[in-house]
């Protein structure tokens, strides 16, 4: 497990916890044993070094991206029937349908965030498209270091066309935007990055995190803040596949 607490205004990390951990007093004595533990990985600082599928935390990025690009409005409603594909009800389902065989019914974007409705965000991701969704992930700081200045920091994964060609040997395909809009599939982020996503929404700009400071008080690895404005649409986005 991992947890991060961050000051929204300054982006100072107030707490970054990783579990399981180890006793500093026994670190030298038990180093080899800790190193061999590859399942629980106590030597990993999970909040910073390990990236995970971010799950429903990605829905707020998809929501803001869809609103900003005008592909949905505050009063746009999508019907949650519990599943996305009428001919295949076993895939791309809403969590409430999985757990209780229920549906959310008509959902506005406010409803969908409150209920964490998968179906709404499948539709929003579909309207954005896979390439554009990746650009919004990048705008929120995914796929790059958050600015700690530590060489151990994991950048996470934004599975844009270049990443897919390099690591998955494929291009965008149907279902990518559905998976990624709810934080599944290839997209990965560290707990630190996810905390900064929420701080970015709260403040209106992406800022590098401050984990430690130099002796002169300067932030270690300090990078400049970036206003959260319209995201550039380049030729790659215009060429994305539509289904």
Nearest to 11 by CA among 220, 231, 230: 220
- Please check the confidence at residue 237 and state whether its pLDDT lies above 60: no
Closest to 145 measured CA to CA, from 41, 49, 42 = 49
In the residue annotation, 56 being an active-site residue is answered as: yes
d(CA 4, CA 164): 29
Return the minimum-mean-pLDDT range out of 36-40, 133-137, 174-178, 217-221. Answer: 217-221
Task: Work out the mean pLDDT of the chain and round it to a whole number.
Answer: 89
- Band of residue 238 on the pLDDT scale cut at 50, 70, 90: very low
Distance of alpha carbon 91 from alpha carbon 73, whole angstroms:
27
Confidence check: pLDDT of 197 > 90: yes
Of 118-122, 216-220, 225-229, the range with the lowest mean pLDDT is: 225-229
Rounded to an integer, the average pLDDT of 148-170 is: 94
pLDDT in tens, 3-13: 999 999 999 99
- Position 231 scores a pLDDT of 59
**pLDDT score of 217:** 75
- Catalytic residue, chosen from 18, 23, 51, 56, is 56
pLDDT tens track for 54-83: 999 999 999 999 999 999 999 999 999 999
Encode pLDDT of 12-38 as tens digits: 999 999 999 988 888 888 999 999 988
Q: Is the predicted pLDDT of residue 189 greater than 90, yes or no?
A: yes
Q: Where are the alpha helices (DSSP H) in the chain?
A: 27-36, 46-49, 59-69, 95-100, 109-115, 118-128, 130-139, 161-163, 176-181, 191-203, 235-238
């Amino acid at each position: 497990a991992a947890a991060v607490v961050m000051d929204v205004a300054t982006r100072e990390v107030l707490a970054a916890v990783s579990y399981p951990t180890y006793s500093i007093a026994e670190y030298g004595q038990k180093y080899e044993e800790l190193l061999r533990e590859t399942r629980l990985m106590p030597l990993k600082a999970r909040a910073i070094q390990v990236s995970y599928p971010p799950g429903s935390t990605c829905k707020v990025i998809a929501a803001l991206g869809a609103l900003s690009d005008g592909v949905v409005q505050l009063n746009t409603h999508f019907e949650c029937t519990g599943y996305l594909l009428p001919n295949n009800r076993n895939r791309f389902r809403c969590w409430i349908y999985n757990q209780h065989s229920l549906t959310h019914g008509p959902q506005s974007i406010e409803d969908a965030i409150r209920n964490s409705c998968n179906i709404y965000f499948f539709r929003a991701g579909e309207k954005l498209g896979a390439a554009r969704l990746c650009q919004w992930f990048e705008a929120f700081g995914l796929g790059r270091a958050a600015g700690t200045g530590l060489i151990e920091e994991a950048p996470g994964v934004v599975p844009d066309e270049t990443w897919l060609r390099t690591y998955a040997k494929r291009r965008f395909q149907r279902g990518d935007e559905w998976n990624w809009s709810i934080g599944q599939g290839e997209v990965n982020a560290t707990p630190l990055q996810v905390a900064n996503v929420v701080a970015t929404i709260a403040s209106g700009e992406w800022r590098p995190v401050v984990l430690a400071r130099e002796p002169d008080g300067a932030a270690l690895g300090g990078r400049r803040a970036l206003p959260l404005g319209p995201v550039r649409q380049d030729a790659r986005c215009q060429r994305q596949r539509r289904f």
